[in-house]
Structure formats: C-alpha cells, structure tokens
A and B are shown apart, each in its own frame.
Chain A
Amino acid sequence: MKKRKLGRGVAVVGAGMSKFGMFRDKDSKDLFAEAFREMLASVDKGMDPADIDALYLGNFSNDFFIHQSHWGPLISDLAGLAPKPATRTEGACASSALAFREGVFAIASGFYDMVLVGGVEEMSKRTTEEVAEGLALATVPYEGRVGFTFPGVFGAVATAYFAKYGASREHLMNVTIKSHSNAPLNPKAQFPMSIRDIMNSKKESLLKKGQPVPEWQDEKDFLRDPRANPVIAWPMHLFDCCPISDGASCMLLVAEDLAKSFTDDPLYVVGIGQGSGRGFHASADMTTFEATRYAAQEAYGMSGLEPKDIQFSEVHDCFSIAEVVHVEDLGFFKPGEGYKAIEEGATRLDGPKPINTSGGLKCKGHPVGATGISQLFEVWTQLRGKAGKRQVPIKDLRIGAAHNLGGTGGTCTFTILERR
C-alpha cells in the first residue's frame, strides 16, 4: 500500500460528548448541545465559535429512527455556525469516524483552518424490533433478506470463529465482564454497572417481589442463566449485545501550526485509515474483517507505528465477538489468539493492552452516529490524563487509537492520536 500523508498536520484541541443513554426528555439537538458546550469548555485557552470554518456531522439514520433527515444544517444552526457549510457523513455505525476523517482532510488540504466534527443519533424512541429493522438497513441486501439482524450477523461470525479456533461462549463472557468492570468508572456510560452490581440488583428486586432468588456462583454463572441473559441471536445473548442509545459527540480540529494557540496540550492525528467491505458472505474467512485490516494498514503505514506501539485502544465491540476478531485484525494479537489474550487479562484496564477503557459500546452505549467520535473522546480523555479512576496506568501515555465499524464490516476506520 502507498504510504499516505496529510498535506499539513492536524490537531485536536477540544472535545465533548453527551451522556449516553435512553432519554425520553432529550432529543438530538439537546444531546448535541450538551456535547458542544463541553467541547467549548475543554479548549484550554478558549476559542471563538465564529472561527469555525465548517461542520462535518456523522448521522446514520435519524431519518428512520425519528423521521427527520438532513442533520448537517440543523446542527450547524444549533451551534450558531450557519451559514458556514455543514456536511453530513453516513457510514452506518462508523458515520462520525467518517466525519472526523473528512474534517481532517479539509484542514490538511489547506482549505480550512478550524473544523467542528461530530456525530449524533437518537434511537430510543423506537421499539427494540424497530431498531433491529432500522440497523438492518445497513446490512448487505442478501443478508437482510434472509432474516439476518445485526446480532444475527455477529452471531454467525461467532459460530465461524468457534469452529475455526475452538473458542466458546465462555470466552466471550470475558469480554462482557471486562467491559462491565470499566464502565462504572465512566460517568458518561449508559450502564455504569459491573456484572456483580447487576447480579446484586436483580437479587434485590426478586427478593422484594417475593420471588425465588437464584444463587449465582459468579459472573459467568449469571451469564449462563438464560433467564438473566436470554438469547438474542445465538450465540449472542443479551449481555453480548450493545444497547439501544441516544447520544452526541464532537471534536474541534485545527491546523497543526495553530494548535498551540488553543492549548499547550494538543493531540496530533498521526494515523487515519478507512476501508470498505463486501458483505460478510463474500469474505473468504468469516473470522476476519478485511475493511478493518485495510484501515489499520493505512493508519499504521501513515504513522510509521506498529500494533505494539498502540498503548491502548477503543475497539468497536457492538457485540462481544466483534471485539475478539478486531483485536486480531488490528494486529494486537495473532489470529486465533485474541480470545486467549482476553481470557488472560491482557485487555483489562491494568493489562498490557487496555481495550475499551470507556466500557466500550456494550456499556458506554452505542448511539451509532455518535460512536466514532465518542471513541476518540475516550482517547482524548486518556491521553490528556483526565480519565480519573479509569485512567490507563501506563507511564508516559502517548499513543492511543480508536477502531470503528459500520454495517457488517462495510465501513471500518482506524485512527491513531498522539500526545507529544
């Protein structure tokens, strides 16, 4: 692959995200306003929103979820940016990673100096079945037609992975338990509860109702209980699946040579990759996503970094199995070794390669259009040492990354940020 480089460097100097969750009393605009206000306050030396040249906004399908399209100008108006240009990007669950990338290119080209990038999605006003249908709009037609849902697609990936490498559901539970142990440390997370917390609260509520209280031995025992953790699309159970969420995220990008006038501590975009996929039936090996591999190769090539140099990463864990196959596709572990490394604790907050310190999509929430930049928000928070109790305990934290996946692997991105 040709080694890519930006026409000029680009830095992140501000970032914000709303709390993620299911909100009856907040809509897309309210959520974006929450993220935008936090972003403004995050710029250490202050900034004037009038200097923002353009907005790139990721949104997958508010068209379907709340019957409102054309979110670029709605958000640019909300943020007081109109008549500055606003462009919406759509890449299914990777929509805002694409907004970030387009914003980077717009500055790297020299055309703009300061760009707002963001994402928003409002999903919880629909029923679970309707959300499944809405998300399935981003499958490949052959998949959706034969009844594949998103949990179904990743359930099928899991059966292929199990058959090839001898892994089992028990291994996927390690991903869930790990994500749930990080989430309580993230105040923005939709489910800030460990599996233990959930077990205890279920026991309490059964006790109150006067119903028999199950004696779960440990977290895995709880996850094996079909009443506590029902099947959604076998082998994907409830606790293998990310929730339905509302939320927004945004970041302020500037040309590298301007960065220090906004903060003494900017982050630099050192690697940015994107790949496309062909529908998962077309993959020669269903335990790998070629679009992720391509995106990673592009980002590693541009940065001159290798997988071992990435100190921590957010990885698109829409389903537990997705985290397993992607830590392999990103080169963190060899093919077929990911589930073992996870079992040994390599990806825990205190492990050698912390993955999804935010709690991941599973616990932080997955408002699909907002997810890509919310992952980068976690990288921003960690690299600047502001992650509080979930701060990665690695000395000299300098390099973090985020992997975002859209559709059934149709759009994948990998972005590497550096603190110098």
Chain B
Amino acid sequence: MEERPFSDISYDQFLNEEKLMGSRCKKCGGHFVPPRSICVQCYSADMEWVQMKGEGKLAAFTCITVAPPFMVAQGYDRKHPYVSGVVELDEGGRVDARIEGVDPNNPESIKVGMRMKAKFLHRKDTQIPETYLAFEPM
C-alpha cells in the first residue's frame, strides 16, 4: 500500500515515476485527480491512492504562441508553439496536461473528443526531477 500523503507533492513524485495517481475516499467512493486529502463530498479524511489507466479524451485545448518565460526557456515561442489541454479521464475527472503528438501549427486538425493516452515528459533543464503530465493521441 502507498503511504504517501495525498498532496500535490506526492502527485508530482508519482509523475516522475510515470504514474498518474488520484485519491479515492474509502467512505463514499469520491474520486479525485489530482488527489485531495479531504473528501469534499463527505469530509472523510480516510483516503486511498488509485492509479489511473492514463486514457481518456480531449475536452479542450489551445495552441500557445505567446509563451511564459519558463516555456520560452525550453525553446517555445511564436515560431514554435506548443499545445496545452484538458483531458477527461476514462475513470472520471479531468486533468490539465501538455498535448503532444499533434501539430500546433495546424489547430484545425486537433479535435475535441480525440482519444488520448498519457505520456510523461521529463524536463532536462532542472536539477530537481520535474515531469510534465502529457497526453498524445492513441
């Protein structure tokens, strides 16, 4: 059994380990990704970790050309846009993620509802391991 606290820090650690994890309330079955330590449905604090299969469908997306500095540092800019989106997981719940394997210069080719599977982007330019949750078309 996983003993880690139900926190954003644990969520990030799991991403480093290529796992997409959420929490489930043992009392009412409430299901949360990213994890919550308090069930906001029944206020029980008796939670357990559940691993998501990492599959779902694209709920919304955008192709970003004006990037914040931390993305510019990774080589993205007006000529090199990237895609961020929201994916609705098969188990329920939605996650924010980078969207890979699509053409940011051809947004019309990216469709809401596309089937997606998770992939994990490990940043190479940081000292502490940092992983972005990403999804790509199945």
B19 on the A face (CB < 8 A): no
Name which of A151, A152, A155, A286 has the most chain B CB atoms within 10 A of its CB: A152
Contact A143 B96 (CB under 8 A): yes
Name which of B71, B76, B96, B133 has the most chain A CB atoms within 10 A of its CB: B96
CA distance A152 to B61 in the complex (A): 8
Which stretch in A53-61, A231-239, A295-303 binds the other chain? A231-239
Contact with B along A80-115 (1 / 0, CB 8 A): 000000000000000000000000000000000000
Query: CB-nearest residue of chain B relative to A235?
Result: B107
Query: CB-nearest residue of chain A relative to B71?
Result: A147
Chain A contacts with B in 137-182, Cβ cutoff 8 A = 140-149, 151-153, 155-157, 159-160, 162-163
B84 on the A face (CB < 8 A): yes
A198 on the B face (CB < 8 A): no
B67 on the A face (CB < 8 A): yes
Contact A156 B68 (CB under 8 A): no
Contact with A along B95-136 (1 / 0, CB 8 A): 111100000000100011100000000000000000011100
A8 on the B face (CB < 8 A): no
CA distance A91 to B133 in the complex (A): 28
Chain A residues closer than 8 Å to B34, beta-carbon distance: 142
Q: Which listed residue, B62, B71, B72, B98, touches A159 by the CB 8 Å rule?
A: B62
B8 on the A face (CB < 8 A): yes
Name which of A142, A147, A159, A236 has the most chain B CB atoms within 10 A of its CB: A147
Query: CB-nearest residue of chain B relative to A159?
Result: B60
Total interface residues in chain B, CB < 8 Å: 35
A128 on the B face (CB < 8 A): yes
A343 on the B face (CB < 8 A): no
Q: Which listed residue, B62, B65, B96, touches A281 by the CB 8 Å rule?
A: B96
Contact A146 B132 (CB under 8 A): yes
Contact with A along B71-108 (1 / 0, CB 8 A): 11000101001101110000000111110000000010
Contact B133 A163 (CB under 8 A): no
Contact A149 B98 (CB under 8 A): no
Contact A146 B66 (CB under 8 A): no
Shortest Cβ distance from residue B131 to the other chain A in the assembled complex, whole angstroms: 10
Contact B69 A133 (CB under 8 A): yes
CA distance A232 to B68 in the complex (A): 12
Q: Which listed residue, B60, B65, B68, B134, touches A136 by the CB 8 Å rule?
A: B68
B52 on the A face (CB < 8 A): no
Contact A152 B62 (CB under 8 A): yes
B50 on the A face (CB < 8 A): no
Chain A residues closer than 8 Å to B97, beta-carbon distance: 146
Shortest Cβ distance from residue B14 to the other chain A in the assembled complex, whole angstroms: 14
Chain A residues closer than 8 Å to B112, beta-carbon distance: 159-160, 162-163
CA distance A157 to B63 in the complex (A): 12
CA distance A58 to B19 in the complex (A): 41
Indicate whether A146 sits within 8 Å of B96 (C-beta atoms), given known contacts A234-B107, A235-B107: yes
A307 on the B face (CB < 8 A): no
Shortest Cβ distance from residue A291 to the other chain B in the assembled complex, whole angstroms: 16
Shortest Cβ distance from residue A371 to the other chain B in the assembled complex, whole angstroms: 21
A143-B96, A147-B76 given; name 16 further pairs at CB < 8 Å.
A129-B68, A132-B66, A133-B69, A145-B132, A155-B63, A156-B60, A157-B60, A159-B61, A159-B62, A163-B112, A234-B62, A281-B94, A281-B96, A282-B94, A283-B94, A286-B60
A residues near B (Cβ < 8 Å) are 128-130, 132-133, 136, 140-149, 151-153, 155-157, 159-160, 162-163, 230-236, 280-283, 286
A-B complex: 10 closest residue pairs judged by Cβ atoms: A155-B62, A163-B112, A156-B60, A234-B63, A160-B60, A234-B107, A133-B68, A152-B62, A142-B96, A233-B64
